[in-house]
């Protein structure tokens, strides 16, 4: 069983395929890790051990009978407590209403279940997934495995902490303003935000929100290696084909040279807040620049000019959906400070303001794509500083909380607005043992290229 802890997700999947391990071995191992580590790290809010072991036995029976099995047959993973898993409560990280037992799987859960993945439970999120941490009023916060006094990031923070601590081999996250890339950066993982529409289950309701703004949230993998991220990405897109994994295995990493990479530390939030990079963020960026240059890419300072209206416009669109959140009458007082304040603003906002913000954000998104499109890839710092302490955000009023989030994550939400893919990759370990990294923003459809670049950076 000790060998399981040392395996990458890909190695584990292949061992399951060969019959070297049973699904019950794998699931039992990770459930044991959760039992040992979760009391300290707060990654899981619900553990479904009995259901997981039953599913593992079914996976083993399929394999033993020689039946066709899915790409991830017998692989343990978990889901953020924003997604429905049939028979399991979904809490959304809020005290405003009690967790409701889901009657069917969310589309992404259904896709990964068809691939043979086995859910071990639900992982911690901020209230409604709004924040770049994973703290709420209903369960212990998700803590950083490298220093449990610090945040694991968010909103996929419980998921990221579980992967980084070895409670899961990899994990599916969701990213509406950086919610895969932020915790990946905090926890020394690779985090891929695919382009809008790359994962079919993300766009079943279209690509625009109720006011006509670009939808922001997509699903993406959190993993310790680029190959692991590629494997999970394949299952999320199409469980019948290993497209991304095959590309990395077929020489794409060594063949990738000569990209024009624009380097930028400018942020669209700078018109509203002071954006200051910590020395460790500069060090991580410089390590990434040197590593990519050594692989034959051409790096240059990018000239990018961001619309000063972005902070207010993004905030209006980002919080618009809170007005329609199904909060029971009289339960608004149970919302956390940030959600309660932003819901009040969204509820009192007139329709024309929301429609105008949607139109403006669409124009800003087009401008982002045009400016970044002068380069094959745009390179930015991943985060502006190392992860803050637990309570750094939630101890503040709503506006200070939000400002601090924007200052920590000044480069992530703009990519969601653009609809383009991006990936964060660790490049530097601080003197205190924390991880810092870079973000690579690609062109539409460049997820394979971004994974190859992540592998190049991982080999530096």
pLDDT over 90 (residue 162): yes
User: What pLDDT score was predicted for residue 229?
Assistant: 98
Cβ partners under 8 Å of residue 119, min gap 6: 48, 51, 52, 55, 76, 77, 78, 79, 85, 88, 109, 113
Question: Cα–Cα distances in Å, from 346 out to 72, 101, 308, 356, 391?
Answer: 41, 28, 22, 14, 25
Read off the pLDDT of residues 334-358 as tens digits, 9 standing for 90 and up: 999 999 999 999 999 999 999 999 9
CA 231 vs CA 161, 265, 328, 411: distances in Å: 20, 31, 41, 26
Q: Where residue 1 falls among pLDDT bands split at 50, 70, 90?
A: low
Is the predicted pLDDT of residue 189 greater than 90, yes or no? Answer: yes
> What is the signed CA dihedral for 414, 420, 423, 428, rounded to 10 degrees?
-40
E strand map for 296-375: 298-301
Label residue 302 left, alpha or beta by phi (over 0 means left) and psi (-120 to 50 means alpha). beta
Each residue's pLDDT tens digit, 262-304: 999 999 999 999 999 999 999 999 999 999 999 999 999 999 9
Burial of 390 (0-12, 13-18, 19+ CB in 10 A): buried
In the structure encoding, which two tokens stand for residue 267, read together? Answer: 């942020």
Tens of pLDDT, residue by residue over 210-245, are: 999 999 999 999 999 999 999 999 999 999 999 999
Question: Which domains does the chain possess?
Answer: 2-458 (3.90.1300.10)
Q: Which residues contact 295 (CB under 8 A, 6 or more apart)?
A: 256, 257, 456
Note whether 116 and 140 are within 8 A (CB). Answer: no
Q: Is 354 a catalytic residue?
A: no
DSSP E strand boundaries for 14-113: 44-47, 76-80, 89-90, 100-101
The single residue of 59, 106, 151, 155 carrying the catalytic annotation is 155
Helix (H, G, I), strand (E, B) or coil at 193: strand
341 counts as catalytic: no
Calculate mean pLDDT across residues 234-258. Answer: 95
- Tens digits of residue pLDDT in 15-44: 999 999 999 999 999 999 999 999 999 999
Task: Please tell me which residue in 179, 267, 354, 448 is annotated as part of the active site.
Answer: 179
Handedness of CA 33, 35, 38, 43 (dihedral sign): positive
**Beta-bridge partner residues of 79:** 122
How many angstroms separate the CA atoms of 399 and 297, rounded? 41
pLDDT-derived band at 5 (thresholds 50, 70, 90) equals confident
Dist CA 107 CA 191 (whole Å): 21
Q: What is the residue-wise DSSP string for 265-308? A: ---GGGGTS-----HHHHHHHHHHHHHHHHTT-EEEE------T
Is residue 104 among the annotated active site residues? no
Burial class (CB in 10 A: 0-12, 13-18, 19+), 19: exposed
Active-site hit among 22, 59, 80, 131: 80
- Taking each helix axis from N to C end, the angle separating 157-164 and 23-41, rounded to the nearest 10 degrees, works out to 120
């Amino acid at each position: 069983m000790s060998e399981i802890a040392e395996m990458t997700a890909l190695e584990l999947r292949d061992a399951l395929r060969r019959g070297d391990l049973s699904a019950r071995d794998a699931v039992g191992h990770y459930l044991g890790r959760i039992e040992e580590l979760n009391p300290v790290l707060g990654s899981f809010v619900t553990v479904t051990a009995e259901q997981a072991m039953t599913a593992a036995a079914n996976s083993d029976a399929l394999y033993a009978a020689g039946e066709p099995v899915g790409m991830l047959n017998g692989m343990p993973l978990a889901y953020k407590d924003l997604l429905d898993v049939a028979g399991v409560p979904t809490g959304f990280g809020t005290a405003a209403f009690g967790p409701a037992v889901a009657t069917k799987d969310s589309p992404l859960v259904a896709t990964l279940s068809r691939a043979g993945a086995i859910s071990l439970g639900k992982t911690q999120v901020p209230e409604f997934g709004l924040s770049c941490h994973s703290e709420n009023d209903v369960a212990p916060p998700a803590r950083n495995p490298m220093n449990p006094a610090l945040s694991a990031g968010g909103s996929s923070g419980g998921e990221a902490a579980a992967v980084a601590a070895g409670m899961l081999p990899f994990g599916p996250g969701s990213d509406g303003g950086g919610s895969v890339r932020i915790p990946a950066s905090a926890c020394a993982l690779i985090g891929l935000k695919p382009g809008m529409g790359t994962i079919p289950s993300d766009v079943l309701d279209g690509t625009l929100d109720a006011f006509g703004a670009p939808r922001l949230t997509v699903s993406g993998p959190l993993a310790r290696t680029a190959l692991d991220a590629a494997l999970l990405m394949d299952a999320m897109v199409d469980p019948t084909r290993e497209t991304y994994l095959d590309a990395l295995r077929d020489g794409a990493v060594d063949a990738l040279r000569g990209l024009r990479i624009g380097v930028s530390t400018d942020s669209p939030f700078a018109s509203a807040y002071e954006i200051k990079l910590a020395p460790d963020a500069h060090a991580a960026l410089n390590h990434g620049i040197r590593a990519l240059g050594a692989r034959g890419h051409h790096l240059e300072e990018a000239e990018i000019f961001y619309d000063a209206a972005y902070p207010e416009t993004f905030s209006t669109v980002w919080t618009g959906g809170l007005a329609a959140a199904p909060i029971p009458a009289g339960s608004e007082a149970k919302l956390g400070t940030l959600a309660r304040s932003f819901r009040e603003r969204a509820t009192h906002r007139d329709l024309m303001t929301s429609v105008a913000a949607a139109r403006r954000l669409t124009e800003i998104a087009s401008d982002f794509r045009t400016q970044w499109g002068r380069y094959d890839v745009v390179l930015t710092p991943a985060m502006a500083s190392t992860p803050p302490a637990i309570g750094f955000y939630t101890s503040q009023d709503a506006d200070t909380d939000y400002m601090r989030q924007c200052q920590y994550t000044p480069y992530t939400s703009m990519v969601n607005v653009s609809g383009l893919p991006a990936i964060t990759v660790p490049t530097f370990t601080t003197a205190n043992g924390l991880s810092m990294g870079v973000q690579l923003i690609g062109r539409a459809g460049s997820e394979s290229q971004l994974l190859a670049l992540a592998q190049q950076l991982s080999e530096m």
